[in-house]
Chains A and B, each alone.
Chain A
C-alpha cells in the first residue's frame, strides 16, 4: 500500500468510528485545503454522501472566491450546510477594524461556533487540523475529550481552534475528532493532486503571490511564490525553508504584537 492510501485508510477509519460513536456529529469546513481534504475523505467514507451536516463559520470577511467555492461544492456534493454567523455582533459592526482583532476572532469565529454547537446540540465535531501545523498540536489526539473540570490534562489537551490566543473556547462537553491529524502539509497537497480535488484558486500564484493558508481577507497575507500548479506547490513546499507552521504562528503573533504596541502609541 502506498503512503497516501495508508493515510487515507486511517482517516476513513476514524471518520467511520466517530460517526458510529456519535450520531450528533458535524464537520467543520473552513473551505481551506485541509478541511476540504477532510470533507473529501468524509465523502469517500460514506460512498459519496456525507450523512452529517457540514458547518461553515461565516465571519462575513472571507474571500469571495471562498464563498463561491463553498456554494458550488455544497450543491455539487449535496451537502447539508449549516452556516454559523454571530449575527448579533455582525449587526453591531464587529470587524477587524473595530476594536481588537482578538475580539473579532473571538466573536465571529469562536462564539459563532459555540452558538452552532448549542443550537444543534452537537456532541462531536470533526476538524481538519494537522499535527505539523502548530507546536501546540504536537500532543494532540485524534479523539480529544473536553474536560468539564477545567483540568489541565496534558495528554488530552484540546486544540486551540484557529490558533486562538488568550481566549479559549468555553469548556463545553463535546468531543473533537481529528481524522487528518497525521497528514503533513505536503501530504495534503500530494493527496489533493492524486484525487484531483477541487481547491480554492487563492492557493495558486497570481502576479508572483499566492496564499499558503486562507481565512478572512483583512488578516491574510499572500507569500511570494510563482507556483501556479499543484506540482509547483508541492515542489515549493518540498524545498521551502520556512515552514507553514512557523510562518503562520509567527505572523499571527506579530499582528497581535503590533496591535498591542500601536495601542500604546508605538509605531
Chain B
C-alpha cells in the first residue's frame, strides 16, 4: 500500500446534488450551517455557479466529470432516441464520449477530449481516485481506483469497480438510491428514508476516506436533490410540517462536511485541495409546463393515439420536446417519418422560437427565460446529435417532455424544480473568477493542481489566477 506523506497532493471534492447557492447562503446567514460558515472564514469562498444546459444531473455532472461541453461528451439528458427510430434509449457512462478527469489523472488512455489532450501529457504518474455516488457513472468501468456508480444505477454488482468493494457495501446494506416512488404514497416515511439513506452514504464515504488509499476522493450526496423535488416548499416556510426536517437535513450536511474537512486538513494540511459543489440549483415550482402539448396545439406535433412514448409521432410532425426543454426538429434524413427538409429548417426554428418564447403564465408573465440554438452553446463532434433548441424557463415554470398531457400547464406532487443559474461551488479563495463560474470549467483546476507547473497561465497557487 502507498504511504501518505504530508507533501503529497490530495483532492477532496464533495458533490451535493441540487443544492442552490441562494438557499445555502441564506442558511449560512441564518446559522443553520455554522460549520460551513467557519470553513468559509478559513480561506474559502462561496460562488454562485451556472449549471450545464440543460440543467439535468446527468448532463451537469458529466460536464464536470469530463470538463467539456455536451458537444464533446455527448450527453444531453437522461433519455435519447435511438438513431433512426422513435424508441427511447437511456444513455449511461458507456455513452460518454469524453474521458472523465479520473481517467486523465489515472493515466487511462481510452477516450480523448480537448482537456485530455492538454492535461494527459502533463500528469507525471497515475493518481488513484475514489469516485463515489456521482450521477451518470453507471455501469462502473475499470479505472485507477474505486468507482461506485450513482443515479441511475440499477444493479449494484454492475455499479462497482473493483468487485472487491462488494462485501463491504453489502455489509452496510448499501442503497444505490432512495426509492422516490414511495414519496407518492407516504411523504413522512419518504422523509425518514432520505435520512436513512444519507446515513448510509455518510458511512460509506467515511469508510473509503479512512480505509482506502487515494489521491482524489470525489463523493456525492444525492438525497439533497430528492429532498428538494418533494419538499422544497418547506425550505423557508416555518409553517410547513416538513420545515424542521428540511433544516435538520442541512444541519446534518453541515456536520458531515465539517467532519470530512477537519479530517482532510488534519491529514494533509494546506497542501490539499478541498472543494464542494452542486450540479444545479432549485426553485419552488409554480406550474409544470408541457411543451409537447404546446407544440401539439400549435400544430408542430402530431401524435397517434396509441404507442409508446415517441413512437406515437406521426408524419406531419415538425418538432418535439424531450425532457426538460430539448426541442428536436423532425428532420427528414434523421427520423423514419421525418418531415422537415433542410430548406425549411431555418424558418421553422424561428417560428418555434417565437411561439415558445411567447408562452405566458396565469398572470401574463413570461414562462421562458431564453431559448438557445444548438450552435450557440454546443461545440464539438457530438453537437451533431444535440437538440436543435434548448429552452430555459423562468424560475417557477418547470419544463417537461411528457407526451400524455391534455393541458399546457399542470401540477404534480413536486414542489421544487431545477434551476440553471443557481448552482454553487465552494473553492479555495485563491481561485477567483472574472465572471460567473460555469460547472465544466472547474474541472481544469483539479487537473492543473496535479501538474508539476501551472500552464498555460498560473491559475492555481499563485494568488488570484483568472478563471475561464
Contact = CB atoms under 8 A, between A and B. Distances in A.
Contacts of A258: 88, 90
Contacts of B330: none
B170 interface: yes
Interface stretch (B113-121, B154-162, B259-267, B446-454): B154-162
Given A100-B181, A260-B177, A152 B154 contact: no
B242 interface: no
Nearest to A167: B156
Contacts of B47: none
Given A154-B163, A257-B152, A257-B154, A263 B179 contact: yes
B462 interface: no
A267 B182 contact: no
A230 to B, nearest CB: 29
B347 to A, nearest CB: 30
Given A259-B181, A261-B79, A267-B323, A166 B155 contact: yes
Interface string A87-100: 00000000000011
Nearest to A152: B167
Contacts of B182: 99-100
B344 interface: no
Interface residues of A, number: 24
Interface string B391-433: 0000000101110000000001010000000000000000000
B217 interface: no
Nearest to B56: A266
User: How many B residues touch the partner, as a band?
Assistant: 35 or more
A174 to B, nearest CB: 19
Interface string B107-135: 00000000000000000000000000000
B141 to A, nearest CB: 14
Interface in A141-167: 150-152, 154, 165-166
Nearest to B323: A266
A254 B180 contact: no
Interface string A233-267: 00000000000000000000110111111011111
Interface of A: 99-100, 102, 136, 150-152, 154, 165-166, 168, 253-254, 256-261, 263-267
Interface of B: 78-79, 88, 90, 151-152, 154-157, 163-164, 166-167, 170-171, 176-177, 179-185, 226, 229, 288, 309, 323, 398, 400-402, 412, 414
